[in-house]
Structure 1
Amino acid sequence: MAEPHVLETRNALERAIHVERSALAQDLTGLSEAQWAKASLCERWTVEEVVAHLTAGAGTRMWRWLLSMLAARFDPDLHNDRRLAKHRGAEPEETLRRFREVVAGPAGPTGHTAAWLGETVVHGEDIRRPLGLVRTPPVATTTAVARFFAARDFTVASSSAIAGLRVEATDGPFSTGSGDLLRGPTLSLVMGMAGRAAACEDLEGDGVEVLRARLRSGRRTS
């Protein structure tokens, strides 16, 4: 399969983040109160809470991020909940307004730009899938995220999730590893590496049950 434009530079990755944030802001326009309160794929959070979390990531500079982690004694759940609460509005419309204000803002609090692109892509799907909304980011975008996720465990244990598997995208050039086959759309592979069991429905090969078992056993964190 022909290689798409590869997002390698920080500027290219940042542009992709802005595109995905803008698309998500558009999709969030006109949601009902019930939709804002719906459970997302990010188990602990509602749709509105995930949006506030994304705003926090874009609106928190490194020094404040580090101070927040220190205050939370490096408990990421506590840190995330505190930052989320700070950036959530009094009502969903305000939460959306705050998110729109950071659409063109910084990628995230650290220089791991590909990770923050992954954050945007994964949480966008966390929101859209339960709401029945569909968006497939450009394959160059999902490929950049898949490569980062496969190479290392960062905010999620993505590399560990596919250890010992042969992973192949059906819509792009991404492939890695050896072992039982795990095959499907790049976005679904990304979501599976990010710990979303729902993505297994879109995948095929003997590696699907391996991944599903790992997610079920709690080997990975979301």
Structure 2
Amino acid sequence: MNPWPEIHRQRIAVADLLDGLRADQWEQPSLCDGWTVRDVAGHLTLQQIGLRELADMLRHWRGGMNPTIHDAARRRAAAWTPERLVADIRDTAALRRRNIGVTPMETLIDLLVHAQDIALPLGLVHPMPPEAAAAATRRTLTMRFPPPPPSVRLMAGVRLTATDLSWSFGDGPEARGPIDALLLTVTGRAVALPRLTGPGAEILATRLAGR
């Protein structure tokens, strides 16, 4: 699939989601360990950084790419008001610019997953388009560079099967569920496991619990 039209739609959808939050909800924990909802919003404004912003990020190196990205997101979230964070995501929604070292699919994966990182802890429903989620799940499972999340290794020997469209991946005991729940599980969000069924789901629950 060409991810750019969906990236545009998802940026607008995330901006609409954030626009509806109360002030206290911005400071609530997200599904990302150690990240508030505001931090996640700050992270999503970093999807199109230029060389100057990249150089600034590297000046604040924290010993690895993930902690450095987290630091950059938190600094952005602290420096900008919620209104500015939303406006930036909305105003840049249609731009087809991506960060160095990633493909447009990683940009889409970020939007689909981080929107749920925001919505689910707040008890909000934020629908994920199944076809986009299927493409994002397959990309996550087959990534070589940039490296996939560590949770992908836990999917080995399990067959993932979507129940809301024709999609499956892998071999072994089956874990069945909606494709959005499969994407969240593949990216390490154990909160989606109760939505999966089958012997493969039990295996994944054990693996994620022991991670």
With structure 2 as the length reference, what TM-score do the two structures score?
A: 0.87
CA contact (8 A) 1:55 1:98 kept: yes
Which of 110, 113, 119 is equivalent to 2:104? 113
CA contact (8 A) 2:161 2:176 kept: yes
Residues 1-222 of structure 1: matches in 2 within 5 Å?
A: 7=1, 12-56=2-46, 58-61=47-50, 65=54, 68=57, 72=61, 75-88=64-77, 89-105=79-95, 106-152=97-143, 154-218=147-211
Change (3 A) 1:71 1:26: closer
Give RMSD over aligned pairs.
2.2
For 2:152, the aligned partner's letter is: S
What is the rounded CA distance, in whole Å, between the counterparts of 1:102 and 1:161 in structure 2? Answer: 35
CA contact (8 A) 1:49 1:84 kept: yes
Change (3 A) 1:15 1:108: farther
Percent identity among equivalent residues?
30
Instruction: Give the deviation of 1:101 after TM superposition.
Output: 2.9
For 1:92, the aligned partner's letter is: P
Residue 59 of structure 1 aligns to a residue in which SS? coil
CA contact (8 A) 1:52 1:99 kept: no
Instruction: Give the deviation of 1:43 after TM superposition.
Output: 1.6
Residue 213 of structure 1 aligns to a residue in which SS? helix
What is the rounded CA distance, in whole Å, between the counterparts of 1:100 and 1:109 in structure 2? Answer: 21
Instruction: Give the deviation of 1:183 after TM superposition.
Output: 0.8
Change (3 A) 1:181 1:79: same
Change (3 A) 1:70 1:212: farther
Q: Deviations over 1:49-91 (max 9, x none)?
A: 10100111x2313685477458626512321123213432443
What is the rounded CA distance, in whole Å, between the counterparts of 1:108 and 1:64 in structure 2? Answer: 11
CA contact (8 A) 1:62 1:109 kept: no
Residue 3 of structure 2 aligns to a residue in which SS? helix
Instruction: Structure 2: state its 5+ residue gaps.
Output: none
Instruction: Structure 1: state its 5+ residue gaps.
Output: 1-6
Q: Deviations over 1:115-173 (max 9, x none)?
A: 22111100011111112221222222011101111213634135312110011001122
Instruction: Give the deviation of 1:204 after TM superposition.
Output: 0.7
With structure 1 as the length reference, what TM-score do the two structures score?
A: 0.83
Change (3 A) 1:62 1:151: farther
